[in-house]
Structure 1
């Protein structure tokens, strides 16, 4: 059985409404279900499981469905197609988003796929389907100009003036700032802290994401072993890829490979990396995640003078820019390989004309 310590086998809301014997019964059923999803769920014939993130989302959504069944029909672990149809009918009339409805339906289909495999029952064919979005377009993405400005901002972000070019008063103020940043007395701030403040961590993280279109979870999981500086590549093993489907080889520019090489050398100086292969850690020693990456991108936008108040400026804006412009400069196949999409259908949403091209067309149209 797969290790389920990091998964919501039984959520707190479910624990609160079940008696001890029901709780034990439910936990056993959930462990079987989630273990199957991880090991076999995507393709039982080849023992290919779903990714960690997919299983997490499925666990929460099916648990919510289970509680709805208990509240309306009493406790059971034998959830039926009628239960699912009734739940989706109620959800259809709710004010939940179409994305939530579509994702819930997908999660329930995974559950009944498991019951078909484990119990010999039929898979569920819902009466109605929900598309996750009315538009095939990707979310906000950085334009070519904005990509250049973000790349340049990553060189400047977190940097400080050269030590020798400061007056004694200016140097004293910068020492106070560095003491606060690195959590040490001002009297102990030295030249090595100056070098550290002008380090390559943020530059390498941002530039690698601009080249490879890294998802937030890929930034979180990135390992030093992925980096092939000599050949200007990221080599992402199957077991560490976000979709957990294949080994991926992703191209990098020469300057990004150079930034990574500099960061790998610098990284050896920091004790927080002594016992881990994680490529980038926050100041607190944690892997970067969605919220910390969103904050980083917004600070870079502020530095680059890129407005984002009316845009969905998440880390995915970088990834979507890679897909959009790789498709324009090369083709869908190149974008599919660079973004690590298993299916070309996923990449199809980037087969659109960027706003700059449309603006130029309007100028030509008069």
Structure 2
């Protein structure tokens, strides 16, 4: 049942074979305890991959989602262990009830000591549900049923970018970190930017060279990343996993294999704009000459040579918003604002079905949650309304205001 035993405790060995047990607790376990917990977690990981999403149909989560589900589960376990002062697999429904109550009361917070958003609480709660489903499958014990509902999702929290803001966001990506040619800068300006690049590149200021300035101002990484995100409405998980092998420059698409696609059910082939194809082609040529990408398939890495994640993408977005001068007051702007914007405008300019396919949704209802009537469309409708006389509004004739009679012109309802 794996509980810490302080008698004759032997410090666990943390070899390469230990992949799933969080490092923060490894030293608190004996060798055998560590290996037992590792086996348990490995079994859970496999269950998530093969069965966890829809157990009845034996449908597993996509690779990126497996990792997210697993880490949310271990977060729940660490919370229980911290309060019981015992590292044990004896985790009960009472622990789960206390955990969701603590989430609801904001007693569980992010690393930045801020309350979780409702959508994040729902995901943490669902990870607990999944873990008890796994235990039920293995031991026959009852699954856990939540008593609270966290309904708000990421797309509800984030406001969308309008058309002008989408253009400005990409323009900001083009000017990002372009401080000008080294030879054209004054000594004072060079010194100031050397300090900036030293911090960004993680090297002493004295080692910052003119080549660092030039690489920064000519890099196509950020324009490629931002343009692709705007085209696909890409979630952070897609940016994190995106492989250069998926990109097909000759056809201007990504071809994502079934086992890597968001729904893990079929190959996905989203199209790209000409702008994205051109920017990504330029980035790939630069990328091939960069040693930190040797042997790495991930298309975009951050400055620490790690895949981008939600926090690093939101940090990048904050910098781009400042560069673009996009107003954030009284708005909830996150990386998911890009996805909501893409869904809104694809639906407006093409169709709901088109947006559904590009965003990789299974149902139109999912896409509808991302969609708003764009502000430009509302303004245009009001302009048309104000320009028409009282006697004529579109194709509908007002025959007699006094009699309040209206012609029987055809009324068309949107699907």
Q: TM-score range with shorter-chain normalisation?
A: 0.7 to 0.9
2:210 maps to: 189
Per the alignment, in what secondary structure is the counterpart of residue 33 of structure 1? helix
Are residues 152 and 5 of structure 1, via their aligned partners in 2, closer, same or farther at CA, if it must alter by over 3 Å? farther
Bigger helix share: 1
| SS of residue paired to 1:350 | coil
Q: 2:48: which partner in 1?
A: 37
Which of 169, 173, 197 matches 1:154?
Answer: 173
Alignment partner of 1:264 is 2:275: no
Match for 2:163 among 117, 123, 144?
144
Q: Aligned match of 1:335 in 337, 348, 355? A: 355
Match of 1:94 among 97, 105, 116: 105
Aligned: 1:120 with 2:135 = no
Q: What are the Cα deviations for residues 28-83 of structure 1, in whole angstroms up to 9, with x where unaligned?
A: 54443344223321234665333221222133225535766x57xx98745555x3
* CA contact 1:175–1:189 (8 Å) conserved in 2: no
TM-score (norm 2): 0.70
Q: Which residue of 2 aligns with 1:299?
A: 319
* C-alpha contact 1:228 1:234 (8 A) present in aligned 2: yes
How far did residue 142 of structure 1 move? 0.9
Residue 219 of structure 2 aligns to a residue whose secondary structure is coil
Q: In 2, Cα distance between the equivalents of 1:208 and 1:365? A: 37
- Counterparts in 2 of 1:344 and 1:13: CA distance versus 1, 3 Å: farther
User: 1:106-156: CA deviations, max 9, x gaps?
Assistant: 233212321232123343444x34132299845112111100111122222
Whether the aligned pair in 2 keeps the contact of 1:4 and 1:31 (CA below 8 Å) is no
CA contact (8 A) 1:112 1:124 kept: yes
After TM superposition, list the pairs within 5 Å mapping 1:281-360 onto structure 2. 281-360=301-380
- Work out the CA distance in 2 between the residues paired with 1:285 and 1:30: 28
Q: Distance in 2 between matches of 1:85 and 1:176?
A: 55
Task: Tell whether the 8 Å contact from 2:158 to 2:340 is kept in structure 1 after alignment.
Answer: yes
- Corresponding residue SS for 2:159: coil
In structure 1, distance between residues paired with 2:131 and 2:148: 16
Match of 1:131 in 2: 150
**1:231 deviation in Å?**
1.0
Give distance in 2, aligned partners of 1:210 and 1:306.
Answer: 16
Using the TM superposition, give the Cα deviation of residue 6 of structure 1 relative to its aligned residue in structure 2, in angstroms. Answer: 5.3
- Contact kept, 8 Å, 1:62 with 1:111, in 2: the verdict is no
Deviation readout 1:207-253 (Å, 9 max, x if unpaired): 11111122223222222112111211122234444554543211111
Q: Summarize the Cα distance change of 1:138–1:354 in structure 2 as closer, same or farther, 3 Å threshold.
A: farther
Q: Are residues 170 and 310 of structure 1, via their aligned partners in 2, closer, same or farther at CA, if it must alter by over 3 Å?
A: same
Matched, 1:49 2:49: no
Tell me if 1:109 matches 2:109: no
Tell me, which stretches of 5 or more residues in structure 1 are unaligned? none
Alignment of 1:7-18 (within 5 A): 7=20, 9=21, 12=24
SS at match of 2:255: strand
Task: Give the distance between the partners of 1:75 and 1:273, measured in 2 at CA.
Answer: 39
**Contact kept in structure 1, 2:155 and 2:337, CA below 8 Å:** no
Q: Partners in 1 of 2:274 and 2:379 — Cα distance?
A: 31
> What's the offset of the Cα at 1:330?
2.1
Deviations 1:295-339 (A, max 9, x none): 222222222211224433222221221112112222232222212
Q: Comparing 263-272 with 21-30, which one deviates more in the overlay? A: 21-30
After TM superposition, the structure 1 stretch with the greater mean CA deviation from structure 2, 337-346 or 84-93, is 84-93
CA RMSD of aligned residues (A): 3.9
Q: Which runs of 5+ in 2 are unaligned?
A: 1-15, 108-115, 387-415
Q: Is the 8 A contact 2:52 2:59 kept in 1?
A: yes
- Calculate the TM-score normalised by the size of structure 1: 0.78
